[in-house]
Amino acid sequence: MQETAIKITGVSKIYKLYDTPSARLKDALGLSRRKVYREHAALHDITLEIKKGETVGIIGTNGSGKSTLLKIITGVISQTQGTVEVNGRISALLELGAGFNNEYTGIENIYLQGTMMGFSREEIDKKMTSILEFADIGDFVHQPVKTYSSGMFVRLAFAVAINIEPEILIVDEALSVGDVFFQSKCYRKFEEFKEMGKTILFVSHDLSSITKYCDRAVLLNKGDKVMEGTPKEAVDRFKMALVAQEEEQRRENSSLWQPDHTGKKWRDSLPVNPETLEYGDKKAEIIDFAVVDKTGKISNVIEKGSRFTIKMKVKFLADVAEPIFAITLKNLMGIELTGTNTMLECEPIEPKKAGDFQTVSFTQNMRLQGGEYLLSFGCTGYEQEEFKVHHRLYDVCSIAVISDKNTVGYFDMESEVETE
């Protein structure tokens, strides 16, 4: 019978939320006769058993309790109720650089982490070469880690975590920081760990990794365990949960845009960024927009490889001789990944008069990898050969791309592979 590595029984985590620091202090000192806090259940009655040698993924929308559960398993925080049993040495990579001293060099932090795991200096010395080779950050290992980039930080942290002979490896989304080549090396290490009978538990928004590497997957939503099963089953349920979250977000955000006399707007069905950057001379104004999925429904959740449409509606407040309509998609770091406009697409637009309306649709296949992206709109034009910006909306809403197969880089070339 396969042994148990982690057994979680009836675990809940309740946080006390205070409106003011003074309320927190009064409660801590027992000076208040009434309840001065609100309770937030980050986890509710979670029961889960993970066998030795399993690779288990935990997925869920933001705020579902994934990181909280991992912190309880590793002892970083305590549960409010329930029990957690761990059978084996744990190595955890929960947050970028967690447990590192920013003032220490990389070498000093390796000794620090190893000592915390119970290794002697001599034992750490024997592992040093493999740690440095895996991290591959060169002479930076002799510099204070506060000078590291986020990528270098996670390379060193992961190299330490996997080279201290853990029986259970726990990783919380940290690999998303490294470059694709480092991620590939890490996943190869996952395969080695599985062959050695190690237990791996990790959180990831990369659904393709969950499907490829996990034996099972657990779906959390708002602190509850929705289900556990095969990775495909969990990913399918995750998509449904994500759609439900987006519907809730759009209800919350709908008040950010006041409907005009025509009633409900397209954008009321999307999560709108309250900090949208907009500017222009306002000879034209982008008054509405939509993202339409393959079923014809307005939704910012798009399946990779599917056909979808981005629409914008513009009202002209002055005469514009040569209007140009544009869309752009960026990643969360603000890098423009793709975009187009009616001029590049050789779609001529007739001159517009004040009071005119124009609706423009851009339809294409979604080739970006699974992840979150930011959508921007623009209406520009030329006046006597001088470029003018009439209205731009930067990062006005997000598009969540759902994928069960991600390739290298930002987009998929949709390669067809043949072997002979």
Q: What is the pLDDT of residues 293-352, one digit of tens each?
A: 998 999 988 989 999 999 999 999 999 999 999 999 998 778 899 999 999 999 989 999
d(CA 194, CA 200): 8
pLDDT of residue 255: 41
Q: What local confidence, expressed as pLDDT, does residue 365 receive? A: 96
Q: How far is the C-alpha of 227 from the C-alpha of 148, rounded, in Å?
A: 39
Helices (H), 171-228: 180-195, 207-213
- Distance in angstroms (rounded) separating the CA atoms of residues 159 and 137: 11
CA separation for the pair 44, 115 (Å, rounded): 35
d(C-alpha 199, C-alpha 229), whole Å: 17
pTM of the model: 0.62
The answer to whether residues 336 and 375 touch, using CB atoms and an 8 Å cutoff, is no
Length of the chain: 420
Reference 77, options 95, 102, 59, 89; nearest CA is 95
Residue ranges in the chain modelled with pLDDT below 50 = 253-261
Write the secondary structure of 340-393 as one string of H (helix), E (strand) and C (coil).
EECCCCCCCCCCECCCCEEEEEEEEECCECCEEEEEEEEEEEEECCEEEEEEEE
What are the CB-based long-range contacts (under 8 Å, 24+) for 121-124? none
What would the two tokens of residue 294 be? Answer: 């393959």
Q: From residue 285, how far is each of 123, 133, 393 by CA, in Å?
A: 66, 55, 10
Spatial distance between the Cα atoms of 218 and 239, rounded to a whole number of angstroms: 13
CA nearest to 237, candidates 85, 384, 57: 57
Name the token pair of 36.
Answer: 């001065």
- Residue 28: how many other CB atoms lie within 10 Å: 11
Domain boundaries defined on the chain? 4-241, 257-402
Question: For residue range 196-244, what is the model confidence (pLDDT) as tens digits?
Answer: 888 999 887 777 778 878 899 999 988 999 999 998 888 878 876 665 5
Query: How distant, in Å, are the alpha carbons of 36, 134, 142, 148, 236 from that of 139?
Result: 52, 14, 6, 11, 45
Per CATH, the architecture of 4-241 is what? 3-Layer(aba) Sandwich (3.40)
**Distance from C-alpha of 302 to C-alpha of 293, rounded to nearest angstrom:** 6
Cα-based torsion angle of the residue sequence 140, 145, 150, 151 in order, rounded to the nearest 10 degrees: 30
C-alpha 161/C-alpha 213 separation (Å) is: 19
362 phi and psi, to 5 degrees?
-115, 115
Quote the strand ranges of 236-293, DSSP E. 277-279, 284-292
Level-2 CATH architecture, domain 257-402: Distorted Sandwich (2.70)
**CA–CA dist 332, 354 (Å, integer):** 36
Q: According to the model, what pLDDT value does residue 261 have?
A: 46
Instruction: Write the DSSP string, 279-307.
Output: ES--SEEEEEEEEE-TTS-B-SEEETT-E
CB contact set of 240 (below 8 Å; sequence gap of 6+)? none
